[in-house]
Structure 1
């Protein structure tokens, strides 16, 4: 059933596109097949060197709701910002060019936004692997959030997911909020938190609407470089913003500790110039160790790992390196 009526609000779907000639057509067709009809696609071709732009032009000729912007390569954040500046819809969402959406995702989310007067609506998603396996991500807590502190805590705890693509946003509410083009990692989380911070009502729905495709060829997830350190700058942004809110601050600190530990784990799993950052990152956790021991918001598993990291760092680094090199790769 197609929801084709002028009474329903337009949804702007922003797709940053870069060298995805093997995936972009199926992505767009999953949107064309939506039962919700009143949408526009803003596909920002970010200087693709393959035939992605040509494929988009062909799709645009067949469906006038598809708009193509060809720009010089500036990265995913800049491409999304260009999309935001050109969006005409009452609601906005994002799709990655190699992903797909299920046929009813936007009819359900728009209906929820209207029925419960929500500024943001979120659904669950699933990860698709190249070998055909699927992992469903359903750890969000269904309900409507109206308390600002609870909203930010839900962001830090990932009940409100750190990604931008599982949500629709009311354009008037998030007007002026843009992606930080200076950072390469955790830019989604920063954008989501800033949008949530200005929202009065956020609804979390318990259905899987988005399909996130994990390509082994798109990025080697075992490699880490200086760009990953932008995770720390995003953590510092949150710490500065919420340092006077005692209720939220514990969860902001927890996010910082776990994000820092994530970086340490990634760096420990390889050998190279990034090793020089281990003492700096470990110091961030050492400064907070007393708070961590006393807090009940950390899992015991995390506390044990942090204890080993603080007091037996070389053992921790070596163990994680061995685990990633021999054990993890065997599964």
Structure 2
């Protein structure tokens, strides 16, 4: 591990038209002591050629090409190769403010934290580096918290599940891996694990990352089975998480139970204009499954959610659909 060095890990797949924008924003960082590890996850376009171009002209850049195994495997490959004291993850279709690394490294040093995070702003699919309103963000004072997990629940506008608005101590990251089994929400699981392990986090409200809003993004393609698999894995993790205070454990389990409700009932019901009997039957089967496994604590749900679950369990799914989709009685379902 090289003291002071920041390892920037960029997973790349099919982002040829955005990649130069991303790499330029990294190359132009005011904090120059970094290595950029680009992992081409078997891109079918010219992304790898662009990566080779940057490696040739800037020795801080390196690239490795792998078979297509998904973003989690690509990030894990980068973690294995990282030599830095710090690690940052940047997606190949996003770009960062030129003081992103400098400000977050300063925040970690100033507050003696394991993680520093910042704000971000969405930009259009066709946004160009240096041609947007992405100029120097207003000055913001960073602040720190001795409970990263509780900060997540209380400061959601800053501490969120994405990994690309954060700088981590490498020692913390290397204790964990991105799950290569989960078909979605890899960022979520990794972030919960890291927040449970970290002792302190610094938050900087400045919007130092431009997140590209792409219609074809994987995060926008809803898959009920994949989301339910994540919800079950998260519930298992929350049940067995160690080293937490009573308040942290209670908050984590409550979050996990609400994610289970959302992916078992709420989102599948609202994903269709007319909810099919097959969707209702699937929701009941899933609800009975997580109940039998002890993964869902109904006491952690609000009364409205508990009633919906009860209706689904006893076979009154159509009435549950009316409550969830019709928003009867002004319930915030």
Alignment partner, residue 63 of structure 1: 58
What do residues 82-117 of structure 1 show as CA deviations (whole Å, max 9, x unaligned)?
Answer: 100101111101011111111121111111112222
Equivalent-residue separation in structure 2 for 1:278 and 1:26 (angstroms): 43
**Change in 2 beyond 3 A, CA 1:32/1:172:** same
Q: Structure 1 stretch 255-264 or stretch 12-21: which is displaced more? A: 255-264
Question: For the Cα contact (< 8 Å) 2:19–2:92, is it kept in 1?
Answer: yes
TM-score norm. by structure 1 comes to: 0.78
Q: For residue 217 of structure 1, give the secondary structure of its aligned residue in structure 2.
A: coil
Counterpart-to-counterpart distance in 2, 1:261 and 1:174: 30
Relative to structure 1, is the Cα distance of residues 239 and 43 closer, same or farther in structure 2, using a 3 angstrom cutoff? same
Paired position in structure 1 for 2:330: none
Task: Identify if the C-alpha distance between structure 1 residues 250 and 280 changes in structure 2 by more than 3 Å, giving closer, same or farther.
Answer: farther
For 2:13 and 2:88, locate their aligned partners in 1 and report how far apart those are by CA, in whole Å: 18
Taking the TM superposition and a 5 Å limit, the aligned residue runs for 1:146-165 are 146=146, 150-156=147-153, 158=156, 160-165=159-164
Could you tell me whether the CA contact under 8 Å between 2:148 and 2:199 is conserved in 1?
no
Assess, with a 3 A threshold, how the Cα gap between structure 1 residues 194 and 290 changes in structure 2: closer, same or farther: closer
Q: Using the TM superposition, give the Cα deviation of residue 216 of structure 1 relative to its aligned residue in structure 2, in angstroms.
A: 0.6
Secondary structure at the counterpart of residue 204 of structure 2: strand
Aligned to 2:183: 184
Cα drift, residue 24 of structure 1: 1.0
* 1:296 corresponding residue in structure 2: none
1:85 to 67, 73, 80: 80
Alignment check: 8 A CA contact 1:98 1:213 kept = yes
Q: Aligned in 2, Cα 1:154/1:235: closer, same or farther, shift over 3 Å?
A: farther
Q: For each residue in 1:118-175, what CA deviation from the matched residue of structure 2 results, as whole angstroms up to 9, or x when unmatched? A: 22111111222438799xxxxxx963122xxx33233455453111111111113433
Instruction: Identify which range, 263-272 or 56-65, moves more after superposition.
Output: 263-272
Q: 1:194, CA displacement in angstroms? A: 2.5
Mapped partners of 2:322, 2:65: distance in 1: 47
8 Å contact kept, 2:123–2:210? yes
Deviates more, 1:271-280 or 1:163-172: 271-280
Find the aligned partners of 1:202 and 1:309 in 2 and give their Cα distance: 36
- TM-score, normalised via structure 2 length: 0.78
Matched, 1:256 2:256: yes
Kindly report the root-mean-square deviation, in angstroms, between the aligned alpha carbons of the 2 structures: 3.2
Contact 2:9/2:39 (CA < 8 Å) preserved in 1?
yes
Instruction: Return the alpha-carbon distance in structure 2 between the equivalents of residues 242 and 307 of structure 1.
Output: 31
Asked if 1:24 corresponds to 2:19, the answer is yes
Spell out the pairing of 1:143-292 with structure 2 (5 A cutoff): 143-146=143-146, 150-156=147-153, 158=156, 160-219=159-218, 221=220, 223-228=222-227, 229-241=229-241, 246-263=246-263, 264-268=265-269, 269-270=271-272, 276-283=281-288, 288-292=297-301
Compare 11-20 and 262-271 and name the one that shifted more: 262-271
Tell me the equivalent position of 1:107: 102
Shift in Å at residue 238 of structure 1? 1.5
Sort the Cα spacing of 1:244 and 1:42 in 2 relative to 1 into closer, same or farther, 3 A. closer
The equivalent of 1:314 in structure 2 is: 318
CA contact (8 A) 1:59 1:66 kept: yes
For residues 37-79 of structure 1, the C-alpha deviation after alignment (integer angstroms, 9 at most, x for no partner) is: 1111100001111111111111221211110001111111111
The answer to whether the 8 A contact 1:90-1:171 is kept is: yes
Deviations 1:15-39 (A, max 9, x none): 1111111111111111112222111
Are the aligned partners of 2:107 and 2:142 in contact in 1 as well (CA < 8 Å)?
Answer: no
The number of aligned residues is 299
Q: Deviations over 1:200-220 (max 9, x none)?
A: 321111211112212112348
- Determine if contact 1:222/1:266 at 8 Å carries over to the other structure: no
